[in-house]
């Protein structure tokens, strides 16, 4: 137990330091998850050797930790903007979910074949890497720097997509698992996947509506007190996650649906207070997860991949999402620079960790799977951790140059050019 308690102490100290330096971290070309990942590597068995936990502890910590982190993160995504503002992304989000995400799974899986792993295993790697992570995406599109640099519609699109696709990736992962683990019956597996999605929609919508109704009724009688009000949606996320899993549904998708229903039915003031708490929880609750991942990174397996390891990272980072978004820029309704930003900033992080841990828990024991998937996830945390702040600044400079060059000409469409006030939630 000493090793586990030491991990608690190290993670808590790291989170405390990052919280005290939160404004400075926002301005630096690093992210909290990247710092936590690096700290895990340093204290792990391959550097200082201060922490060495069993694979069973690793699998349990990654599975349940990522499940909770992603649930809180998608709740924060659902509350980030007033529900009425999301009408502007009704057009691009279905395309991102139904076209870009499946293509991302195919491209990432095909790229993973470079590592010399079997086709079925590569397909599972691609499925786990296809969703956009709401934790890393949230650090890109939330906060004052994002409000000052990025158009409102672009931020809304990334938020909505990253919130929804974490649950909708489950059928893709389920199909890949059925291929890797042939003992499963295709018909039964299909029925289970349908129930996991539809059941989560029903449970999430019902719980979100009931929570909003309860908040309104309690408000009429002077309840709840300010403290409980702030954590109401965090409690809602935990409740939906637990009920959804007990009913055999996709709890993460259910949490996003519950948050969206709650957002649509409560006032902006109440939503704003709870969203700010959820954003803070999202930024710091994720740190232990990335710290644990850093401790358990399979360096020996990566070395066994040889020169193919950096090649597959480059292929997936460049081809998984960006080309498809650029080709679909017109149907998505985005200009060139918006499509480039949207295509590049589709990071892989906590949601991919969850699906990797879920696959391992389901019975995928080939170490090449964990090695291939974590190789790309770690590269994603590093790449997007160091490019998010420069990317926002580069976008803002490009926008200002375009505005200066186009002075006196026809202005950009309001849906693209609109921005929120700096203090908006």
The answer to which of 269-283, 287-301, 303-317, 340-354 has the lowest mean pLDDT is: 269-283
- Per-residue pLDDT tens over the stretch 160-189: 888 888 888 888 998 898 888 876 566 666
Using CB atoms within 10 Å of the CB of residue 410, give its burial: 0 to 12 exposed, 13 to 18 middle, 19+ buried: exposed
The answer as to CATH 3.20.20.80 being correct for domain 2-417 is no
Range of 3-7, 66-70, 193-197 with top mean pLDDT: 66-70
- Is pTM, for the whole model, over 0.95? no
Asked whether the predicted pLDDT for residue 331 surpasses 50, the reply is: yes
Confidence of residue 22 (pLDDT cuts 50, 70, 90): low
* CA pair distance 38, 424, nearest whole angstrom: 32
Instruction: Give the residue carrying structure tokens 């879920």.
Output: 358
* CA pair distance 121, 182, nearest whole angstrom: 12
Confirm if 60 and 312 have CB atoms less than 8 A apart. Answer: no
* CA pair distance 87, 97, nearest whole angstrom: 16
Provide, rounded to the nearest whole percent, the portion of the chain with pLDDT above 90.
34
Range of 19-23, 369-373, 412-416 with top mean pLDDT: 369-373
The answer to which of 100-109, 285-294, 324-333 has the lowest mean pLDDT is: 285-294
Residues 6+ apart with CB under 8 A from 72: 234, 237, 278, 281, 282, 285
Residue 222: predicted pLDDT: 64
Q: What is the largest CA-CA distance in the chain?
A: 68
Domain boundaries, the chain: 2-417
What mean pLDDT do residues 289-296 have? 90
DSSP 316-348: HHHHSSHHHHHHTHHHHT--HHHHHHHHH----
Residue 410: predicted pLDDT: 44
Confirm if 31 and 384 have CB atoms less than 8 A apart. Answer: yes
Residue 31, by phi and psi: left (phi above 0), alpha (psi -120 to 50) or beta?
beta
Asked whether the predicted pLDDT for residue 129 surpasses 70, the reply is: yes
Instruction: Give the residue carrying structure tokens 């808590």.
Output: 12
- Per-residue pLDDT tens over the stretch 237-275: 999 999 988 898 878 889 989 988 988 888 666 666 666
Residue 48: predicted pLDDT: 86
Residue 347: predicted pLDDT: 92
- Per-residue pLDDT tens over the stretch 74-110: 888 888 777 676 677 888 989 999 999 999 999 999 9
* CA pair distance 374, 376, nearest whole angstrom: 5
Residue 87: predicted pLDDT: 73
Instruction: Give the residue carrying structure tokens 């009704």.
Output: 90
């Amino acid at each position: 137990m000493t090793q586990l308690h030491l991990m608690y102490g190290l993670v808590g100290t790291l989170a405390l330091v990052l919280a005290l330096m939160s404004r400075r971290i926002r301005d630096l070309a690093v992210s909290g998850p990247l710092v936590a990942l690096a700290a895990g590597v340093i204290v792990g068995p391959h550097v200082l050797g201060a922490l060495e936990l069993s694979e069973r502890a690793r699998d349990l910590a990654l599975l349940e930790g990522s499940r909770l982190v992603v649930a809180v993160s998608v709740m924060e995504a659902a509350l980030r903007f007033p529900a009425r503002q999301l009408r502007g992304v009704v057009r691009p989000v279905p395309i991102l979910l139904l076209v870009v995400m499946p293509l991302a799974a195919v491209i990432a899986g095909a790229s993973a074949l470079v590592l010399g792993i079997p086709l079925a295993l590569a397909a599972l790697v691609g499925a786990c890497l296809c969703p956009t992570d709401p934790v890393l995406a949230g650090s890109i599109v939330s906060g004052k720097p994002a409000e000052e640099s990025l158009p409102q519609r672009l931020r809304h699109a990334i938020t909505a997509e990253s919130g929804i696709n974490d649950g909708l990736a489950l059928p893709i992962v389920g199909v890949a698992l059925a291929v890797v683990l042939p003992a499963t019956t295709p018909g039964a597996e299909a029925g289970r996947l349908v129930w996991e999605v539809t059941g989560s929609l029903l449970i999430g919508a019902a719980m979100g509506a009931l929570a909003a109704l309860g908040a309104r009724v309690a408000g009429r009688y002077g309840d709840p007190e300010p403290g409980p009000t702030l954590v109401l949606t965090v409690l809602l996320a935990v409740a939906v996650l637990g009920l959804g899993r007990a009913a055999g549904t996709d709890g993460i998708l259910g949490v996003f649906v519950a948050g969206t229903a709650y957002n649509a039915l409560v006032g902006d003031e109440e939503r704003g207070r709870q969203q700010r708490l959820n954003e803070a929880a999202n930024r710091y609750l994720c740190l232990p997860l990335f710290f644990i991942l850093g401790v358990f990174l399979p360096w020996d397996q990566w070395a066994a991949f040889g020169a193919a390891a950096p090649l597959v990272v480059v292929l997936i980072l460049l081809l998984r999402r960006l080309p498809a978004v650029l080709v679909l820029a017109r149907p998505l309704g985005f200009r060139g620079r918006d499509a480039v930003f949207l295509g590049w900033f589709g990071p892989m992080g906590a949601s991919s960790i969850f699906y990797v841990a879920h696959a391992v828990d389901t019975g995928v024991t080939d170490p090449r799977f964990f090695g291939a998937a974590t190789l790309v996830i770690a590269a994603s945390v590093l790449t997007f951790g160091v490019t998010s702040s420069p990317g926002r600044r580069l976008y803002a400079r490009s926008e200002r140059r375009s505005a200066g060059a186009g002075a006196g000409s026809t202005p950009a469409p309001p849906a693209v050019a609109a921005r929120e006030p700096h203090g908006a939630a």
